[in-house]
Amino acid sequence: MIHPIPSGTRDVLPQETGEVRAITDTLRTAFDRHGYGEIYTPALEYESVLARADMAEAQPAYRVFDETGVVLALRSDMTVPIARVVATRYASSEPPLRFCYFAHCYRGVRPQRGQLRELLQAGIELIGSPAPEGTAEALTVLCRSLDAVGLKDYRVGMGDASLFPALMASLQVREPVRHGLLEALVWRDFVELGQRLHDAGLDGEAADLLLDVPQRRGGPELLTDAPEPAVEAVTGMRRVYELLDPDVAERVIFDLGLIRNIGYYTGAVFEVYDPALGAPIGGGGRYDELLGRFGRQLPAVGFALDVDQLHQALAGEERGTGLLLAGSADGAGGGALS
Amino acid sequence: MSPIHGLKIAVPRGALFEGTVDLLAALGLDTDELRANDRKLLFEDIGVITMRPSDVPTYVEAGAADLGVTGKDVLLEQLGHAPNEHGRDVYELLDLGFGRCTMVMASKAGPDPAVESLRRLGVMRVATKYPRIAARHLEETGRQGEIVEVKGSVELAPLTGMVDAIVDLTATGTTLRENNLVVREEIVVCTARLIANPVAHKLKAAQIDALLGQLRGLPAASA
C-alpha cells in the first residue's frame, strides 16, 4: 500500500539520517565550542505571540485551533521563539546570551516547486552583543562551523538591511515611492527598479546611484569607494570586517544589494553560497529591535543553516558535480560525509 | 572557442532565439554551430544550453545555467510578484529590448461579450496560456473572472463560445485580426530579459558584470 505524505515533507531513512546526523553532530560540537547552549522550544506556539515579529514573506503558514478555540501556529523559524524565551525565561539575566538549535520549521510553499513545508534548521542566536563585535562573532561561528563539516568553496555574502532605505532617505526619495523601490529590490528585479525610478521622475544622478549601488558586490575594495549616502552602512560593514580573523575574512564577499525576505533584520545581513548549489544554504543577520517587541530591548544577531541544503552542497562538492562548478572532479573528498 | 567569461547561458529556442544568438555573436561568441544545429541542446564548448523559453527560469533558478534569456511574459507568469507569492528566485538584470510583444485582453469584434457577461452573470470567462497574469489582471481591475487554461491556439476559445475573452501575447495583431478578435485592453509590454542565478550573481560577480558592461555598450540593448 502507498500512503501519501503532504508534498514538501519527507521521510528520512537510515542512510540519509546517518549522513545528516554526521553534519548536525559536527555543527553541534562547533556551536558548543563557541559557548552556544542548545535549546528546544515547542513547534506549536500561540499565533498572537509569533505575530509580534515582522516576518514578511516567512510568516507562519499553518494554524490550528486548540480545544479552547485559541489559534496556534507552527513556527516558521527559531529566531522568534528564542526571542520569546529570552524575554520570558531570561528576563533579568546578564547578557550576552548564546543559544543554538537544531529544529524543524514550517513554511508555506508553492505547489510543484520542490519547496519544503518542513525544513530542518541549524543555527545560533547571540543576544545582547551589539555590532560590530556581535556580528563578527556570529560570522566567525558560521565559518568555523562550515569549515568543521568540511564545506570547502563556500562564501558568505554580507550586506546591510539599512543601506538601501538610508540611500533613499538621503537622496530625498519621496515617501510613497520608497516602498515600491524596495519591493523591486526584494524581487531581485533591476529592470523594474530602473523603471520605477524613471516613473517616479527621479533625476539622473540619484536614479543612477539607486540602481547602481545595490548591484555592487565583490571584495573589500567595495567599501572604500561607497557613495556618501551609503557611508554609514558601509562603515558598519568595514568595522565588522576588521574584527574578523583572516580565514573568516577571506570567505566574506560584500553585497550592497543584499536583502533578506524576513522583515525583522535591522543591520548586517548575510547569506551563505556554495558553487555546488544554485540557492543559498542559509543566512542571518542583526535584529536589534525584535527582542524589544517581546519586552526585553537587546541587540541581537544570528544565523540559520538549512541542513538539507548544506547536505546537498557537501554531496555536490564531494562528487565535483556542483551545478555552478565547471564540472571538474578535483576538489572531491573530505568532510563530515566521508 | 570558449564560453563568454566562463559563464553558462540558457538560450531560448523559438521567437527569441535569433535575437539572443545575434547578441551572443556580437559579444564575440562563435555561434555557427548554434545556428546550424537546431536539434542539439547542449553546446558545451561555448557554454550554451538551449530550451523552450518557459524552461529558462527553471534552469537558471536551479543553477544549471548562470544566466538566461527569456521573455518578460514568462517571468511575469512564473515569478508571481504578488504578496505571499514565492516566485522563481532569479535576478532580472537587463531589458534586452528585442522580442517586443504586448500582453492583451481580446474578444470577438462587435459588442464585447465580456462586458455583457460581467453585467448579467457577474463573471467573465477568460482563456489563456498565462493563467496567473490573467487572474492578476482581473483582480487588479476589480473584475470577477473564471480562468480557462489552454495549451494550444487560444484564439479558438472565444470563437467557439467557450469563453468571453482571451489573454494572450501579440506582436503584430495579425492572428487576432484573422480570427475576428479585437484588442480590448493592453496589459503589459514584454521584451526579452537577461536573468541570473542568485548564487552565480554573487560568486561570479566580476564575470557577470563584465558581460553586463559589454551588453550595455551594444547599440541593440535598450538599457
Q: Is A130 helix (H, G, I), strand (E, B) or coil?
A: coil
Query: Domain total for chain A?
Result: 1
Looking at beta carbons, which residues of chain B come within 8 Å of A323?
Answer: 62-64
More confident residue, A254 or A330: A254
pLDDT digits (tens, 9 = 90+) for B35-55: 999 899 999 999 999 999 999
Q: What's the CATH code of the domain at B59?
A: 3.40.190.10
Handedness of CA B70, B72, B78, B83 (dihedral sign): positive
More confident residue, A327 or A319: A319
Mean model confidence pLDDT for chain A:
90
Report yes or no on A176 lying in a domain.
no
Report yes or no on B223 lying in a domain.
no
- SS3 annotation, A175-215: HHHHHHHHHHHHCCEHHHHHHHHHHCCCCHHHHHHHHHHHH
pLDDT digits (tens, 9 = 90+) for B50-108: 999 999 999 999 999 999 999 999 999 987 554 445 456 899 999 999 999 999 999 99
Which helix (H) or strand (E) is A61 found in, with range?
none
Domain match, B20 and B88 both = yes
Contact B78, B151 (CB under 8 A): no
Which helix (H) or strand (E) is A271 found in, with range?
strand A268-273
Residue type, B26: A
What range does the domain containing A121 cover?
14-160+260-319
Domain match, B109 and B47 both = no
* CB nearest to A324's CB, from B86, B87, B199: B199
CB contact under 8 A, B84 and A324: no
Contacts of B79 (CB under 8 A, 6+ apart): A187, A189, B57, B87, B88, B90
Report yes or no on A331 lying in a domain.
no
Contacts of B51 (CB under 8 A, 6+ apart): B10, B11, B12, B13, B41, B59
Q: How far is A221 from chain B (nearest CA, A)?
A: 13
Contacts of A258 (CB under 8 A, 6+ apart): A157, A158, A159, A160, A217, A269, A270, A271
Phi, psi (degrees; rounded to nearest 5) at A234: -70, -35
Report yes or no on A265 lying in a domain.
yes
pLDDT band at A55 (very low <50, low <70, confident <90, very high): confident
The mean pLDDT value for A192-210 works out to 91
Give the separation between CA A16 and CA B52, rounded to whole angstroms. 35
pLDDT band at A230 (very low <50, low <70, confident <90, very high): confident
Burial B185-197 (b: 16+ CB within 10 A, else e): eebeebbbbbbbb
Looking at beta carbons, which residues of chain B come within 8 Å of A188?
Answer: 89-92, 198
The mean pLDDT value for A263-282 works out to 93
pLDDT score for A152: 95
Q: What's the CATH code of the domain at A272?
A: 3.30.930.10
Q: How many CB pairs under 8 A join A and B?
A: 84
pLDDT score for A44: 96
pLDDT score for A333: 36
Query: Domain total for chain B?
Result: 2
Locate the chain B residue with the closest alpha carbon to A185. Answer: B91
CA trace torsion B31, B33, B39, B41 (10° rounding): -60
Domain match, B173 and B198 both = no
- Rounded to the nearest 10 degrees, what angle do helices B72-79 and B131-140 cross at? 80
Mean model confidence pLDDT for chain B:
91
User: Nearest CA to A325 among A142, A157, A149, A152?
Assistant: A152
pLDDT digits (tens, 9 = 90+) for A179-188: 999 989 988 9
Q: Per-residue pLDDT for A109 more than 80?
A: no
CA trace torsion A282, B82, A78, A280 (10° rounding): 0
pLDDT digits (tens, 9 = 90+) for A78-97: 999 999 999 999 999 999 99
pLDDT digits (tens, 9 = 90+) for A235-245: 999 999 999 99
pLDDT score for B80: 58
More confident residue, A22 or A221: A22
Domain match, B167 and B206 both = no
pLDDT score for A322: 56
- Percent above pLDDT 70 for chain A: 93
Contact B108, B161 (CB under 8 A): no
Report yes or no on A40 lying in a domain.
yes
| Complex ipTM more than 0.95, yes or no | no
The mean pLDDT value for A107-112 works out to 74
pLDDT score for A202: 87
Give the separation between CA A306 and CA A102, rounded to whole angstroms. 10
Long-range contacts of A94-98 (CB under 8 A, 24+ apart): A95/A127, A95/A128, A95/A129, A95/A298, A96/A126, A96/A127, A96/A128, A96/A129, A96/A134, A97/A125, A97/A126, A97/A127, A97/A128, A98/A34, A98/A35, A98/A36, A98/A37, A98/A124, A98/A125, A98/A126, A98/A127
Q: How far is A230 from chain B (nearest CA, A)?
A: 20
Contacts of A280 (CB under 8 A, 6+ apart): A271, A272, A273, A309, B198, B199
* Burial of residue B103, with CB atoms counted within 10 A of its CB: 0-12 exposed, 13-18 middle, 19 or more buried: buried
Domain match, B165 and B137 both = yes
What range does the domain containing B67 cover?
4-100+191-217
Q: How far is B199 from chain A (nearest CA, A)?
A: 6
Report yes or no on A268 lying in a domain.
yes
Q: Per-residue pLDDT for A330 more than 50?
A: no
Domain match, B127 and B174 both = yes
Q: How far is B41 from chain A (nearest CA, A)?
A: 17
Domain match, B64 and B119 both = no
Report yes or no on A51 lying in a domain.
yes
Contacts of A235 (CB under 8 A, 6+ apart): none
DSSP-assigned beta bridge partners for residue B165: B126
Report yes or no on A214 lying in a domain.
no
A191, A216, A309, best to mutate vs chain B, most B CBs in 10 Å: A191
Contacts of B183 (CB under 8 A, 6+ apart): B104, B105, B106, B170, B173, B176
pLDDT score for B83: 42
Q: Per-residue pLDDT for A101 more than 80?
A: yes
pLDDT band at A336 (very low <50, low <70, confident <90, very high): very low
> Of the given ranges (A45-54, A189-198, A322-331, B151-160), which has the lowest mean pLDDT?
A322-331
* CB nearest to B202's CB, from A109, A217, A323: A217
